A and B are shown apart, each in its own frame.
Chain A
Amino acid sequence: MATKEAGRGPASYKPLSMSPKEYQQFAKSRQPSRPVFANCVRAFLVGGFICFIGEGVQHFFMAAFDMTSRQAGNPTVAVMILISVILTCLGVYDKIAQWAGAGTAVPVTGFANSMCSAAIEHRSEGLVLGVGANMFKLAGSVIVFGTVAAFFVGIVYWILGVSH
Chain B
Amino acid sequence: MLEQASDIALSKAALSKDKINFYVGGDLINQIISSTFAARTMGAPYLGVFGACSTSMESLALAALLVSTGAARYAIAGTSSHNCTAEKQFRYPTEYGSQKPPTAQYTVTGAGAAVVAAEGDGPRITSATIGRIMDLGLKDPFDMGSAMAPAAVDTIQAHLQETGRDPGYYDMIVTGDLASVGHPIAADLLKRHGVPIAETQFNDCGLLVFDLAKQAVQAGGSGCACSATVAYGHLLKRIAKGGAEAAARRGDGRAALAAVLSAGREHSLHRACRIHRTLIDPKEDFRCNICGHFWSAGRSASSASCCSTLPS
A-side contacts of B195, CB under 8 Å: 13
In B13-62, the 8 Å CB interface with A consists of none
Any chain A CB within 8 A of the CB of B214?
no
Any chain B CB within 8 A of the CB of A101?
yes
Q: Interface readout for B162-205 with A: 1 if CB under 8 Å, 0 if not? A: 00111000000000000011001100110011110000000000
Q: Take A16-B193, A39-B99 as given contacts and tell me if A120 and B93 are in contact as well, using a CB distance cutoff of 8 Å.
A: yes
Asked whether, in the complex, the Cβ of A16 is within 8 Å of the Cβ of B94, the reply is no
How many residues does chain B have at the interface if contact means C-beta atoms less than 8 Å apart? Answer: 42
Asked whether, in the complex, the Cβ of A93 is within 8 Å of the Cβ of B95, the reply is yes
Q: Shortest beta-carbon distance, A17 to chain B, in Å?
A: 9
Interface of A is mostly: helix
Asked whether, in the complex, the Cβ of B188 is within 8 Å of the Cβ of A30, the reply is yes
Across chains A and B, the number of contacting residue pairs, with CB separation under 8 Å, is 119
Interface of B is mostly: loop
Of A4-12, A56-64, A68-76, the segment with at least 4 beta carbons within 8 Å of chain B is A4-12
Asked whether, in the complex, the Cβ of B96 is within 8 Å of the Cβ of A113, the reply is yes
A12, A31, A100: the one contacting B181 at CB < 8 Å is A31
Q: Take A23-B150, A31-B103 as given contacts and tell me if A10 and B160 are in contact as well, using a CB distance cutoff of 8 Å.
A: yes
Asked whether, in the complex, the Cβ of A13 is within 8 Å of the Cβ of B97, the reply is no
In A82-128, the 8 Å CB interface with B consists of 88-89, 91, 93-94, 96-98, 100-102, 104-105, 110, 113-114, 116-118, 120-122
Listed by A's residue number, 22 A-B pairs whose Cβ atoms lie within 8 Å are A9-B164, A10-B164, A11-B194, A13-B161, A14-B193, A16-B150, A20-B136, A23-B137, A24-B138, A26-B188, A27-B138, A28-B146, A32-B103, A94-B98, A96-B97, A97-B97, A104-B97, A120-B93, A120-B95, A122-B93, A137-B93, A138-B93
